[in-house]
Structure 1
Amino acid sequence: MVEMRDARSRDAWRPGDAWLGGGTYLFSEPQPHIRRLIDLSRMGWEPVRVTEDGDLEIAATCTIAQLSRFAEGRDWPAAPLFERCCRAFLASWKIWNVATVGGNLCNGLPAGPMISLTAALDGVCRLQAQSGSFREVPVADFVVGAGIKVLRPGELLRSITVPARALSRRTAFRQASLYGLGRSGALLIGSRDPHDDELALTVTASTVRPIRLRFPLRPNAGAVHEAVAYGIRADEYYDDIHGLPAWRRHMTFRFAEEIRRELLDEEDGR
């Protein structure tokens, strides 16, 4: 990196440019392909707010600490999920106060807990092109592989919107790591919609992309097992030093059934 520019200057985008949010990833290792950073820190975007319709709008520059503080004490049934996903970073307070929600999504890593959180709550990314035009992409479709996103050259993640209906869901959270303070090897989130009783299961960390499994009717153990077995291809399980695909697959089946019981059977007194 040889140059830093203010994003407000609206310079023409060129090869070798990169948007700078918190920089916790960009500055963590060499980035020889990046020649210029476009700093978003002075854009003045409100970190997080509730809209008139009750939706939650999270700016890409919102830090993990800001999101955690905002969700604390809220009366949404899904509110505890925010803290659980923020804690999944296993990072120091220094990182919490610098790392951004948008940066975590744009890294596109399987273990990105902000991807897990916003995908599980039907979040939608608002993307801005260099021309100023916008398009919207569901978080579940934003990351399509390990580190691979649908961002076009020069396109900016402006914000993520979580619909009010998703905030009213009861949720269940499961996470596994090979080490006590290690990166997530499997992270599953279940949610139950109080309006139509639909159960949704979001699989992340164990897979190269977020995978959403929906059950309009209450599933039994066999239905959940079948959905995981046929809904996730063998080559979609991630393979790195934080877990072999076979272990990640095993934990995915195990957590899926635990979540089903927590959100359905136990509530029904079975």
Structure 2
Amino acid sequence: MDLNTVAEILDARQPTPWRPGDAWLGGGTYLFSEPQPHLRRLVDLSRTGWTPVERLPDGSLEIAATCTIAQLSRFAKELTAEAAAPLFEQCCRAFLASFKIWNMATVGGNLCNALPAGPMISLTAALDGECLLLAQDGTHRRIPVVDFVTGAGRKNLADGELLRSITLPARALACRTAFRQASLYGLGRSGVLVIGALDPLDGSLALTVTASTVRPFRLCFPLLPTAEELRTAIASAVADDEWFDDIHGLPEWRAHMTFHYAEEIRRELGETAA
């Protein structure tokens, strides 16, 4: 879609004072999907030269905000030694995206859109990801992915602040994972997406709920919980008004499927740990 109110496209490598009507341009799959009458300038991130995905010296993984879904999918095929490797492709494929979206949509854009069904939110929250945010004055701050997305379409991002990257710790990459997803239609948007991550070092379990809720929930258990403990923890964490409600699924259905998939994951990872 043409954005006929945009009068200028700026290079992000050249410092420019932020002003009302500015927006960061990554892949552009959201910006160009609908009218944006409030925009006057786009600040283009495509020529920043950030490495899409990089292994850090401590074994953690840094994913640039500009990394495309296609780039992340290709890199994930090299993570054969990591127990959590299958989760990357599972979440990439949860997009059910066209060729254009697959090659243009970015990890950072998916997080910043903050849609409940955003599979990059699911992936990075499940693997205990941390966002690096850069402010216009040059300062930076770090915040967990689960705290970055605060609601449907809402995120913890100040005016002019930029999501630079997401870091996944080495310990999370070593976790054995289980993935469950449900949609109302065969090729529909995710209505429920639940991920379990079992730590091989201490046997702790992290269960992450997305798509069915307005924001990501990551529940941590020091030991594998019982079925009742798991159900109670989910019911206590997610308030009644935090189950998402739209044409892709009623809150009652989303809650029911979340409990159902959580128990499946508990059993699957419990058998692995036995």
Normalising by the smaller structure, the TM-score range is over 0.9
Structure 2 residue aligned with 1:122: 128
State which of 51, 60, 63 in structure 2 corresponds to 1:46: 51
Q: What do residues 61-110 of structure 1 show as CA deviations (whole Å, max 9, x unaligned)?
A: 00000001001141100000000000000002221110000000000000
Contact 2:224 2:266 in 1 (8 A): no
Q: Which runs of 5+ in 1 are unaligned?
A: none
Kindly report which structure 2 residues correspond to 1:116-155, keeping only aligned pairs within 5 A, or say none: 116-155=122-161
Measure, in 1, the Cα distance between the counterparts of 2:30 and 2:255: 28
Coordinate RMSD, CA, aligned:
0.9
Question: Counterpart of 2:75 in structure 1: which amino acid?
Answer: F
What fraction of aligned residue pairs are identical, expressed as a percent? 72
Q: Which runs of 4+ in 1 moved over 4 A?
A: none
Q: Which amino acid aligns with 2:16?
A: D
For residues 210 and 262 of structure 1, the distance between their equivalents in structure 2, rounded to whole angstroms, comes to 22
Counterpart in 2 of 1:160? 166
Q: Tell me which amino acid in the other structure corresponds to 2:244.
A: Y
Query: 2 CA distance for matches of 1:49 and 1:208?
Result: 30
Distance 2:184 2:257 in 1: 11
Of 220, 238, 247, 2:226 maps to 220
Deviation at 1:247, TM superposition (A): 0.6
CA distance in 1 between counterparts of 2:109 and 2:155 reads 12
Asked whether 1:106 is paired with 2:112, we answer yes
Partner deviation per Cα, 1:170-223 (whole Å, 9 max, x = no partner) = 000000000111100000000000111101100000000000111112211111
Deviations 1:93-148 (A, max 9, x none): 22111000000000000000000000000000000000111100000100000010
Deviation at 1:267, TM superposition (A): 2.6
What is the deviation of 1:33?
A: 1.5
Q: Distance in 1 between matches of 2:78 and 2:162?
A: 31
Q: 1:28 aligns with which of 4, 20, 33?
A: 33
Q: Which residue of 2 aligns with 1:79?
A: 85
Query: Is the CA contact 2:205–2:222 (under 8 Å) kept in the aligned structure 1?
Result: yes
Matched residue pairs, number? 268
- Look up the equivalent residue of 1:46 and give its one-letter code: T
Q: Secondary structure at the match of 2:143?
A: strand
Alpha-carbon distance, 1:32 to partner: 1.2
TM (normalized to structure 2)? 0.96
